[in-house]
Amino acid sequence: MTVGIVVVSHSRALAEAAVALAGEMLQDGRGPIEVAAGLDDGGFGTDAIAISEAVARADQGDGVVVLMDMGSAVLSAELALEMVDDDVRERVVLTPAPLVEGLVLASVSAAGGASAAAVAAEAGDALEAKTAHLGPSSPEPGGTADTAGTADTAPSGDDERGSFTVAMPHGLHARPAAQLVRALHGLDAEVRLRNVTLDGPEVSAASLSKVATLGALHGHEVAVRARGGDAAEALRRVLGLAEDGFGEAGPPPATVDVEDRTDHRPIPASPGIGIGPVRVAHRAAVTVPDARPGTPDEQRGRLDDARTRARDQLQGVRGTAAREIGEAEAAIFDAQVLLLDDPDLLADAAARLDGGADAARAWADALDEVERGFAAAADEYLRARAADVRDVRDRVLRALGGAEEQDSAPDGILVADDLTPADAAALDPARTPAVVLAGSSPTAHAAILLRARGVPAVVGVGAALAARAGEAALLAVDGSTGEVVADPDEPTLAAFRDRAAAFGRRRDDARRRAHEPAVTRDGTTVLVGANLGSPEDARAAHGADLAGLVRTEFGFLDRREAPTVDEQEASYRAIAEAMDGRRITLRTLDVGGDKPLDYLPVAPEANPFLGVRGIRLALARPRILADQLTAIVRVAHDHPVDVMFPMIAAVDELTAARRALVEAIEAVGRGRPADLRVGIMVEVPAAALKAAAFAPHVDFFSIGTNDLTQYTLAAERGNDQLAALADALDPGVLALVAATVRGAGDDVLVAVCGELAGDEAAVPILIGLGVRELSVAPGAAATVKEAVRAVDLESARDLAAAALTCADARAVRALTGTDRTLGERPGAPSVPWTG
């Protein structure tokens, strides 16, 4: 039974926020919830016609429950009923329930398969928990109706009995309560619960509003009594749920977002084959460790130590992320570090310590408060930050001795709603054959990290499919095609093993030939470089012909003052020496207002990615640029060095940057280094289109496809909703690559140093467009070289020409898909989801 719900409000924002709030209660799918709110012009008001249409949409034959705010909402809803078909009208219930509380209860009840009348009744009880909670003048918890119910139906005799202790740190709050109600739905059993610790009344476990009146907090004991044909099964389910912490898993908002996405096509996100048992990522909330005695001062000391440890860990994760994916991405960990030291938060925790709480409890409660604030925010970005808060909370609690359940997780294919970048950075590739995510996108930070770490991944499969995968005993995953097969039969399994073997052979070939140049079949040499952030990266860049991009930001972060010329020279020299004679391309400082440095303050900007960043910031602070260029010139006298300016949009900027370089050369006083070359990053679409104007002033262009894609499609990289759109293989982006090559002429080399360069599907297209250098993550250089060797320039040109005429990235990928899998898999791709 699927009862639809319609939310009628004067305010569209209010209605949508209420729906989002209700969505948090539903971990796996929900029935239709339609909104009819506000006027077409965005003003407040209700519209009976819109309501009647919403009712028609929500109705799937099992009825519709309508919740309304006040006044005209009620009249309009009544009028709307006159406008719908007679048979639909008979199935519609208008409920007087309060809009927000009622919607939460109704949506849970509807998701559990209740009838329209039952959903409406449940919604109608919505005020009970709040009434019981507030004011001693209110009726007893459970209200009179429930007391009567107890008397009438009190089970006696052969009841199934049991009890559990509430393990969740937040108690049996609404979300686990919803799990409980749903687990019991459809059983022939009457189940009643009682909070033994509080010696409270017995309430029905079938009603979310009643379960909420239990007030069962962490550590409370709850007695369970069941009767009826399925009483034993009901008891087993309740106790089983209690054992599992009521499925408290993952950051809840992600589920809502996943559900809202219309496109649930599995997306290949990291190539490779994974076969193995399933490991569902129940990121079981880190439990708050038992209170330890101590004075407030001692507790404060413990908390400070734990925060220091958490900060060290975060800096470690940040360092990995900075090396493997880049500074801009690593900046998300800066936000977490900031939170660790947030003065308001620390004041709150200190107040709790003074109030007698121990360190762990004070920290957990203070962070929970912040998390709730974020989770309830209307802004999608802020809601997503709730996961960051939880990360920080758990990290400190673990340092305080909180149970860490993740480490005990068995090896297997990880199935989860989403991964935080920290999770992805911490994942052990040896124990994780593959990753399957309900949400996320191939361009999300987590996916980029997974690729860098060589873990096959398929993302964006949707909550329903992820749930199915999570229940499988065995999964087979192809991160190159997006296929995920649950419980594969023997022939399928054999086919996946063959593919895995072929993939492995290719990788081994690549390793063996890593140090040979990458030459296409017809003899064109393409340089394959590595993107580096440190000397360690340089050592990992197995087979790279050069360092096509050295991110110099690492020397500037986490400091109170800018690094000196000597310090910079030493770190660039270390990288040059690690590369052992191979050319290094040093990109000057590329930061902006999204993470201002202490010594490089930037006025707050509404949109830092379109603000004063890259070369714009460098030219505004000439001292910093002068020092950096001086260090680069000193190294360039002893090693082959390129200098590259980021975020160039205008020739004037390049002219000014080159003038600064000339001044640095004069300052060093040894003349121009013979082998010093100058280039720019092409990230701004205008720079690509004006390449001919830049060409006389540079030795090379390096296209940063990550930012170029983001700016060209006006689609933020981290936003899952835009995953399909923000694909660097979009023909619009490829046209800008083509324009850059055209403008570059014969004397200027065109390189690509974004993620796209490491996408094997893109390699022939980029070469066909005229790109002659690809710079990729250190670990990927060998396989990209192998991909270059498979290219035939003539057909690559045809392929590139065809790609430019495609409508979208999906069409481009379809062009390349056949080539990529040729010889590995006979026939058409199998249906991605089977079994």
Partner 1 sequence: MAGLDVDGLGRWLRIYAASVAEHQEELTSLDAAIGDADHGANMHRGMAAVVDGLAATPPADPAALLKQTGMVLIRSVGGTSGPLYGTLFLRMASAVGGETALGPETFAKALRAGVEGLVARGKTELGDKTLYDALGPALDALDASLGDGEPLAAALHAASRAADSGRDATTPMVARKGRASYLGERSAGHQDPGATSAALLVAAAAQAVAEGA
806 as an active site residue: the answer is no
Q: Which of 10, 220, 445, 639 is catalytic?
A: 445
Closer of 75 and 154 to partner 1 (Cβ): 75
* DSSP element (H, E) containing 339: helix 327-340
CB 678 within 8 A of CB 658: yes
CA 399 to chain centre: 25
Q: Rounded CA gap, 108 and 19, in Å?
A: 12
Q: Any contact of residue 47 with partner 1 (CB under 8 A)?
A: yes
- Site membership for partner 1, residue 46 (CB under 8 A): yes
Segment near partner 1 (CB under 8 A); pick from 71-79, 144-152, 313-321, 724-732: 71-79
Q: How far is the CB of 15 from partner 1 (least distance, A)?
A: 14
- Residue 750, SS3 per DSSP: strand
Residues 413 and 436: beta-carbon distance below 8 Å: yes
Closest CA to 314 of 331, 337, 283, 332: 337
Give yes or no for residue 45 binding partner 1 (CB under 8 A): yes
In this chain, which of 2, 72, 150, 163 binds partner 1, going by CB under 8 A?
A: 72
Among 17, 28, 44, 536, binds partner 1 (CB under 8 A): 44
Stretch that binds partner 1, among 72-80, 517-525, 740-748, 752-760 (CB under 8 A): 72-80
Q: Which stretch binds partner 1 (CB under 8 A): 13-21, 67-75, 466-474, 678-686?
A: 67-75
Confirm whether 445 is a catalytic residue. Answer: yes
Q: Which two tokens stand for residue 524?
A: 């064109």
Give yes or no for residue 622 binding partner 1 (CB under 8 A).
no
56 is a contact residue toward partner 1 (CB under 8 A) = no
Strand order in the sheet with 160-165: 160-165, 221-227, 190-195, 202-204
Looking at beta carbons only, is 50 or 688 nearer to partner 1? 50
Verify binding: residue 49, partner 1, rule CB under 8 A: yes
User: CA 126 to CA 123: how far, in whole Å?
Assistant: 5
Considering only the stretches 37-45, 341-349, 409-417, 656-664, report the one whose residues sit in contact with partner 1 under the rule CB under 8 A.
37-45
Rounded to a whole number of angstroms, the distance between the first and last alpha carbons of the chain is 25
Q: Does 10 bind partner 1 (CB under 8 A)?
A: yes
**Closer residue to partner 1 in complex, CB, 82/199:** 82
Angstrom distance (rounded) from CA 103 to CA 89? 20
Burial string for 517-545 (b: 16+ CB within 10 Å, else e) reads ebebeeeeebbbbbbbbbbebbebbebbb
User: Any idea what the Cα angle at residue 683 is, between residues 679 and 689, rounded to 5°?
Assistant: 85
What whole-number distance in Å separates Cα of residue 486 and Cα of residue 477? 9
Among 13, 29, 61, 71, binds partner 1 (CB under 8 A): 71
75 belongs to the binding site for partner 1 (CB under 8 A): yes
286 membership: H or E segment, kind and range: none
Q: Contact between 301 and partner 1 (CB under 8 A)? A: no
Rounded distance, CA 530 to CA 326, Å? Answer: 12
Stretch that binds partner 1, among 75-83, 502-510, 542-550, 717-725 (CB under 8 A): 75-83
Interface with partner 1 includes 9 (CB under 8 A)? no
Q: Of residues 50, 540, 635, 803, which one binds partner 1 by CB under 8 A?
A: 50
40 binds partner 1 (CB under 8 A): yes
Nearest distance, CB of residue 47 and partner 1, angstroms: 5
Applying CB under 8 A, which of residues 39, 382, 662, 686 lies at the interface with partner 1?
39
- Assign 458 to helix, strand or coil: strand
Q: Least Å distance between CB 96 and partner 1? A: 14
For partner 1, give the closer residue by CB, 54 or 191: 54
Amino acid at 678: V
Give the residue carrying structure tokens 């077409």.
40
User: Under the criterion CB under 8 A, does residue 43 sit at the interface with partner 1?
Assistant: yes
With respect to partner 1, which residue has the nearer C-beta, 10 or 170? 10
Pick the catalytic residue: 173, 220, 639, 753?
753
Asked if residues 535 and 574 have their Cβ atoms less than 8 Å apart, the reply is: yes
Is the CB of residue 715 less than 8 Å from the CB of residue 722? yes
Q: Return the active site residues.
A: 445, 753
Residues that bind partner 1 (CB under 8 A): 10, 39-40, 43-50, 70-72, 75-76, 78-79
